[in-house]
């Protein structure tokens, strides 16, 4: 397990310009995310059947997972160590299991777990059975999921605007955790999805 001292040692390697670039990318990325959530909320009126609920729940979950800040532009370590000397001297790699494409990498394991979760959600569409769901109650649950995601994004923006390197990485971890909790997995009703979500949660603990 990475210690607080390891994290601070890694954070100390980041230049202010790299931190600033990552923050700007987060600020830019959150705006279309929030607008899309507004459009999704507007589409709830078309959720009228159990099948609609299942489809909307899966679509929302897939969008939330795809929008997690896991791309290199959102990471000050990746920003600083991109290009021809990719990952050379990366403080995160040195303290979190190696390069992000290494089997032991905390970040790499988290990304793989998120991909596996998205795959399990995608596979649900192949199931011929749709559980009995009250559409009115489901719409309220979906609305709550969207509102929680919106609140998490706004909190993420606020937390990162003046954050240090360690503060930004911790804010990302907290945000990802909040989005995972907002996923409408109860409405999807798949034991495989529940299990994959637990795996993502366990990998997130090592992320930062």
DSSP 102: S
Distance CA 121, CA 193 (A): 6
pTM of the model: 0.93
The per-residue pLDDT for range 55-79, each reduced to its tens digit, is 999 999 999 999 999 999 999 999 9
- What phi, psi does 100 have (nearest 5°)? -65, -15
Q: Residue 207 pLDDT more than 50? A: yes
Q: Residue 89 pLDDT more than 90? A: no
Distance CA 174, CA 110 (A): 14
The per-residue pLDDT for range 161-194, each reduced to its tens digit, is 999 999 999 999 999 999 999 999 999 989 999 9
**Percentage of the chain surpassing pLDDT 70?**
95
Neighbours of 115 (CB within 10 A): 14
Task: Tell me the pLDDT band of 128, cut-offs 50, 70 and 90.
Answer: very low
Task: Tell me the pLDDT band of 88, cut-offs 50, 70 and 90.
Answer: confident
What CA–CA distances, in Å, run from 47 to 39, 70, 93, 186, 198? 14, 30, 45, 16, 28
């Amino acid at each position: 397990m990475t210690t607080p001292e390891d994290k601070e040692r890694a954070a100390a390697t980041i230049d202010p310009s790299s931190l600033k670039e990552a923050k700007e990318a987060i600020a830019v990325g959150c705006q279309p995310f929030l607008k899309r959530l507004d459009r999704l909320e507007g589409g709830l009126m078309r959720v009228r059947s159990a099948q609609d609920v299942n489809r909307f729940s899966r679509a929302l979950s897939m969008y939330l997972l795809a929008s997690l800040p896991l791309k290199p532009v959102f990471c000050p370590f990746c920003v600083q160590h991109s290009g021809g000397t990719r990952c050379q001297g990366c403080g995160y790699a040195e303290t979190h299991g190696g390069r992000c494409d290494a089997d032991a990498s905390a970040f790499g394991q988290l990304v793989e777990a998120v991909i596996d979760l998205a795959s399990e959600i995608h596979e649900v569409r192949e199931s011929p059975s749709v559980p009995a769901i009250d559409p009115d109650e489901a719409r309220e649950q979906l609305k709550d999921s969207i509102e929680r995601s919106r609140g998490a994004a706004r909190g993420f923006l606020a937390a990162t605007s003046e954050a240090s390197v360690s503060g930004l990485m911790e804010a990302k971890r907290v945000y990802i955790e909040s989005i995972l909790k907002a996923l409408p997995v109860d409405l999807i009703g798949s034991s495989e999805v529940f299990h994959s979500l637990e795996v993502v949660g366990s990998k997130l603990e090592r992320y930062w």
